[in-house]
């Protein structure tokens, strides 16, 4: 099945999977959010004269830094790297949701090139994405006759290589967040997304979608960029790193955390 212009099959799965398309009128470019390619490419730079302390200026010139600070403030997190971790995991989950949803429902891996996706760093969760052109990734067929390994490789190129690797590099240029932590976040976001998608398929009598989701997820977690991030056993994922969420006031550990209880008593607990 070809991808339809509005990716309508994703809508019944909820806002976590849906993506805006098309963007709308191209006549107001200054009001359109930056593409993810622009967000990844920008590096920290001193604010221009008169722009210091301006959230609007940062949102325009460095949307990734703006997002990290927004998340950090919203969580009341004591460290900016916590906001960076949570922001990265949230965006990773949205990218996985669109890629996995299209792959298992349409049988096509979508083209999610960073220059085709626009992202508002000031939006609430889940991250708001606009796909400006709907098309399959070249060579992105994912029919039942295609091998799981081949489809997984195409999805990995779409999400891991085109997005999460440059996102990780851009975040680490802005604050000291461990690469192992970010890999763990990527794997955790994948596992959580797959669990939601497979659960929806089970509830709606789509065992084919559930099975493909689980097979594809297992293959993706075995990818070289994720293979050391955690373990998948009987459908349950356990990561080897911690996303640092337990350091947010009032928070505990996540369900797939490497810790079984909050390590607050150990200030030097591992983070990645």
Alpha-carbon distance 191 to 259, whole Å? 17
Check residue 205 and give left, alpha or beta (phi > 0: left; psi -120 to 50: alpha): left
Residue 64 lies in a domain: yes
Within-domain flag for 204? yes
Angle formed at CA 48 by CA 42 and CA 51, multiple of 5 degrees:
105
| Residue 267 pLDDT | 46
pLDDT digits (tens, 9 = 90+) for 16-28: 999 998 755 444 4
Structural domain boundaries enclosing 93: 8-25+32-42+56-247
Helix (H, G, I), strand (E, B) or coil at 231: strand
What tokens appear for 252 in the block?
């505990």
Is residue 272 in a domain?
A: no
pLDDT digits (tens, 9 = 90+) for 124-138: 889 999 999 999 998
pLDDT tens, 77-124?
999 999 999 999 999 999 999 999 999 999 999 999 999 999 999 998
- C-alpha span between 9 and 102 (Å, rounded): 8
Domain assignment present for 256? no
Considering only CA atoms, give the Rg of the chain: 19
- Tell me if 267 is assigned to some domain: no
What CA–CA distances, in Å, run from 250 to 76, 256, 264? 10, 18, 11
DSSP state of 164: I
Does 257 fall in a domain? no
Position 54 scores a pLDDT of 52
CA atoms within 13 A on the CB side of 4: 7
* Beta strands 129-131 and 136-141, pairing class: unpaired
| Cβ-based neighbour number of residue 149 at 10 Å | 12
- Classify residue 266: in a domain, yes or no: no
Counting the structural domains of the chain, the total is 1
- 269 found inside a domain: no
Q: Rounded to an integer, what distance in angstroms lies between the CA atom of residue 138 and that of residue 233?
A: 33
Place of tokens 């056993």: 233
Cis status of the peptide bond prior to 126, with omega within 30 of 0? yes
Q: Which pTM value belongs to this model? A: 0.88
Residues of the chain with pLDDT under 50: 25-30, 45-52, 265-271
The candidate with the shortest Cα–Cα distance to 215, out of 132, 130, 271, 149, is 149
**C-alpha to C-alpha distance for 159 and 208, rounded to whole angstroms:** 23
């Amino acid at each position: 099945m070809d991808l339809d212009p509005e990716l309508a099959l994703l809508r019944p799965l909820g806002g976590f999977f849906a993506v805006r398309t098309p963007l709308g009128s191209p006549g107001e470019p200054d009001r359109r959010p930056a593409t993810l390619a622009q967000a990844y490419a920008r590096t920290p730079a001193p604010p221009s004269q008169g722009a210091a302390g301006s959230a609007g200026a940062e949102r325009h010139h460095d949307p990734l830094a703006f997002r990290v600070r927004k998340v950090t403030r919203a969580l009341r997190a004591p460290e900016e790297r916590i906001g960076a971790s949570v922001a990265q995991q949230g965006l990773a989950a949205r990218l996985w949701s669109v890629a996995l949803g299209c792959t298992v429902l349409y049988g096509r891996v979508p083209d999610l090139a960073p220059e085709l996706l626009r992202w508002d760093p000031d939006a609430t969760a889940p991250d708001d994405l606009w796909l400006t052109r709907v098309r399959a990734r070249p060579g992105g067929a994912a029919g039942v006759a295609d091998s799981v390994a081949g489809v997984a490789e195409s999805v990995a190129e779409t999400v891991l290589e085109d997005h999460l690797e440059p996102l990780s590099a851009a975040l680490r240029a802005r604050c000291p967040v461990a690469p192992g932590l970010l890999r763990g976040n990527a794997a955790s976001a994948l596992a959580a997304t797959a669990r939601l998608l497979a659960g929806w398929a089970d509830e709606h009598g789509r065992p084919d979608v559930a099975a493909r989701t689980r097979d594809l997820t297992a293959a993706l977690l075995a990818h070289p960029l994720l293979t050391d991030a955690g373990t998948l056993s009987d459908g349950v994922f356990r990561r080897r790193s911690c996303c640092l969420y337990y350091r947010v006031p009032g928070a505990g550990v996540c369900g797939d955390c490497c810790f079984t209880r909050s390590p607050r008593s150990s200030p030097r607990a591992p983070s990645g």
